[in-house]
Amino acid sequence: MNKIKKTGGNRKYTVFWPIVFVAPFVICFFLFNLFPILYSFQLSFYDWSGVGEKTFVGLANYVRIVTEDKMFLKSLGNTLFMMVISFPFAIIFGLVISAFLSNLKHGRRFFQTVNFLPYITTPVAIGLIFTFLFDRNTGMVNRLLELLNVNGLNWLGNPRLAQVVIAIMIAWKYTGYYMALYLAGITSISEDIYEAARVDGAGALTIFRKITMPLLKPITIFIIVTSMIGGLQLFDEPNLMFNVSTTSVIGGPDRSCLTLLWNFYDVAFGSTAKLGYGSAVAVCIFIVIVLISLIGMKLMNRKEDVI
Amino acid sequence: MKKGSKIFSYVILAFISVVSLFPFYLMIVMSTYKTEEIFKGLPFLPSNYFMTNMKTVFQSNFIGSYVNSLLVSILSTVVCVVISAMVGYGITAYRFKGRRLLINLVMLTMMVPVQIGVVGYMIEMRTMHMTGTLMPMILIWLANGFGAFWMIQFMQSSLPMEIVESARIDGSNEMNTFFRIVMPCIKPGLVTLVLLIFLWSWNSYLVPLVFVNDNSVMTIPIFIKSLGNAYRTDYGAQLTGLAVATVPLLVLFIAGSKNFIQGLTAGAVKG
């Protein structure tokens, strides 16, 4: 403190205060984010159950993931499939709802809050309620189908249908969140631009396509990138729905709802408690997330040139 | 034409809102049913079992878990938001060595999910003798990539630096400036971040699943999963517990709904 006073006022603003303000984040980041990840990375070269001696096994864990362990690839495929059939719908619905909402004078706050509710509902509750809705015998969805003279489906027992149910759950949950983000973006577009377009005789649809959508592009990129990162971390919903303590089989019917993180959790903390191998799985998930995010960002940039 | 499209908007929105609300509504209605009754008919209208379910819920470890969840969420949120706001201010108000590096670090943190390091985190917490306490569920929120990213974005787009400059000229200490002048200026951004971090930590599932090993540190999501016994899962009671557990979130989001969108606008628009 004394030293800084001596060196004059300028140093205060280039060294002392920046450190004060930035230090808490940096310290916590190193202690509780970076260190655990690096430690996991180190563990991924060992065979260890959490107690006793660690055995160094080199790349054996990684070799096993690539050559022997079918679950890693399967969980990757499951996760990607469920992402692809859910998030695009959530994003499109979110955009459309926000466009409708932005035209309203009355009741905007009301609709906005109501549509945001699914996002704040605890995943545990969502899992339970969807289990009721899609139950084969007593679920409402099948009863409605029967009213229409269609045979009820075995939603939670069929591998593909179970994935569809998870996807519906995700689309239902995230639509409101994306709506809020888009709504924020639309609010920030200057009314003058719209006025000018209207004077030029542009219709509502043209305005939406030629003005609103392009101006919302930064938000769309933000949403797509975060939804990819979030989608690859899918865990709560499938786990809560299909993690039944009475069976030892995890991942739902035919393990079709076993996601990357669920597989990781099961390997590291579930039945086997293989911390070293689990860490290797985590590192692979990390690589997948980085790769897919990079590809995503690349694709987005290419699209930019087209529009 | 114009009036027609307005009515059309309302009809569409009303329909979508019903779809949004339906499962939420079911949660409330089903919480008034006896578990066995839920499966018998279509539970559209409230039944009379709510008080019994409430009794079941409150006779168990519900209050303890509720307090735990509140502690975890409040502490995580307050500390995380202050730390995020500080780093946001640090990056906005100063030019210093390593500033660029720090911004990239924040971006990277946002991309890397904390779950990736949870094995290392667990061993770290065990070494620090923090398992069996609520600390592991709080500490993981402190350096939140999204929070820091959010505050940096928000301050760069909507903190008027002239105010800070004039406070400096008036001889105000930087800490003082930050808490007395900067924080009130960025209220919408703070509200948005408070709501999101509270929501995420309240609903957090994976990390508690790893760390909760006895009743004393249970949080709500883990507790609800454990309701009932080996022979009968008490869905009615579970849903009652969940309905009660949603109350704090509901209150927060309704109270903050105006600031929430305002905050999102300034924070997210620059993406």
Q: ipTM score here?
A: 0.89
Say if residues B205 and A234 touch (Cβ distance below 8 Å): no
Give the list of residues 6+ apart from residue B137 with CB closer than 8 angstroms, or none. Answer: B72, B76, B201, B204, B207, B208, B211, B217, B219
d(CA A78, CA A258): 7
Q: Looking at the structure, do residues A84 and A14 belong to the same domain, yes or no?
A: no
Q: Looking at the structure, do residues A173 and A45 belong to the same domain, yes or no?
A: no
CATH number for B209 = 1.10.3720.10
Summarised one tens digit per residue, pLDDT across range B188-235 is 889 999 999 999 999 999 999 999 888 889 999 888 887 755 456 778
d(CA A61, CA A80): 23
For residue A156, what are the domain limits?
A: 64-306
For B54-90, the DSSP string reads HHHHHHTTHHHHHHHHHHHHHHHHHHHHHHHHHHHHH
Residue B39 φ/ψ, nearest 5 degrees: -85, -5
Instruction: Annotate B212-235 with b (16+ C-beta within 10 A) or e (fewer).
Output: beeeebbbbbbbbbebbeeeebbb
Q: Looking at the structure, do residues A292 and A205 belong to the same domain, yes or no?
A: yes
Chain B residues close to A111, C-beta within 8 Å: 13, 17
Q: Looking at the structure, do residues A289 and A211 belong to the same domain, yes or no?
A: yes
Q: Looking at the structure, do residues A121 and A232 belong to the same domain, yes or no?
A: yes
- Counting the structural domains of chain A, the total is 2
Give the list of residues 6+ apart from residue B31 with CB closer than 8 angstroms, or none. Answer: B50, B53, B236, B239, B240, B242, B243
For residue B157, what are the domain limits?
A: 60-268
The minimal CB distance from A221 to the residues B109, B250, B271 is found for: B271
Query: Pick the residue with more confidence: A136 or A61?
Result: A61
Rg (Cα) of chain B, in Å, rounded?
A: 23
| pLDDT value, residue B24 | 84
Query: Given a cut of 70, is residue B65 above it in pLDDT?
Result: yes
Query: Given a cut of 70, is residue B176 above it in pLDDT?
Result: yes
Chain B residues close to A129, C-beta within 8 Å: 23, 26-27, 30, 239
Tell me the average pLDDT across A7-34. 86
The minimal CB distance from A229 to the residues B86, B113, B225 is found for: B113
Chain B residue with Cα closest to A169: B23
Mean of pLDDT over chain A = 86
Residue at B53 is within a domain: no
Q: Looking at the structure, do residues A223 and A154 belong to the same domain, yes or no?
A: yes
pLDDT band of residue A305 (cuts 50, 70, 90) is very low
Query: Given a cut of 90, is residue B38 above it in pLDDT?
Result: no
Summarised one tens digit per residue, pLDDT across range B196-205 is 999 999 999 9
- d(CA A85, nearest CA chain B) in Å: 19
Q: Give the number of other Cβ atoms within 10 Å of residue B207's Cβ.
A: 20
Rg (Cα) of chain A, in Å, rounded?
A: 25
| pLDDT value, residue B119 | 93
Residue at B44 is within a domain: no
| pLDDT value, residue A242 | 85
Query: Given a cut of 50, is residue A1 above it in pLDDT?
Result: no
Chain B residues close to A221, C-beta within 8 Å: 271
Residue at B156 is within a domain: yes
Residue at B23 is within a domain: no
Contact yes or no for B118 and A282 at CB 8 A: yes
Q: Looking at the structure, do residues A290 and A146 belong to the same domain, yes or no?
A: yes
Q: Among residues A46, A62, A78, which one ends one of the domains? A: A62
pLDDT band of residue A3 (cuts 50, 70, 90) is very low
Give the list of residues 6+ apart from residue B245 with CB closer than 8 angstroms, or none. Answer: A122, B66, B69, B220, B224
Contact yes or no for A143 and B220 at CB 8 A: no
Q: Looking at the structure, do residues A70 and A210 belong to the same domain, yes or no?
A: yes
Token reading at B85: 């706001």
- Counting the structural domains of chain B, the total is 1
Q: Looking at the structure, do residues A146 and A269 belong to the same domain, yes or no?
A: yes
Distances in Å between the Cα of A215 and the Cα atoms of A187, A236, A291 are 11, 34, 27
* Low-confidence winner among A188-192, B191-195, B262-266 (lowest mean pLDDT): B262-266
d(CA B207, CA B201): 10
Chain A residue with Cα closest to B211: A269
Residue at B7 is within a domain: no
**Secondary structure in 3-state letters for A241-283:** HHCCCCCCCCCCHHHCCCCHHHHHHHHHHCCCCCHHHHHHHHH
Chain A residues close to B26, C-beta within 8 Å: 129, 132-133
pLDDT band of residue A5 (cuts 50, 70, 90) is very low
Q: Looking at the structure, do residues A260 and A292 belong to the same domain, yes or no?
A: yes
In percent, how much of chain A has pLDDT > 70?
A: 93
Q: Which of A77, A29, A234 is nearest to B141 (CA)?
A: A29
CATH number for A273 = 1.10.3720.10
Contact yes or no for B23 and A181 at CB 8 A: no
How far is residue B61 CA from its own chain's centroid? 22
Say if residues B128 and B153 touch (Cβ distance below 8 Å): no
Tell me the average pLDDT across B20-26. 86
Token reading at A220: 């769309």
Chain A, chain B: beta-carbon pairs less than 8 Å apart: 274
Q: Looking at the structure, do residues A50 and A175 belong to the same domain, yes or no?
A: no
Q: Looking at the structure, do residues A51 and A105 belong to the same domain, yes or no?
A: no
Q: Among residues A18, A43, A62, which one ends one of the domains? A: A62
Chain A residues close to B245, C-beta within 8 Å: 122
**Interface probe, candidates B116, B234, B246, chain A, greatest A C-beta count within 10 A:** B116
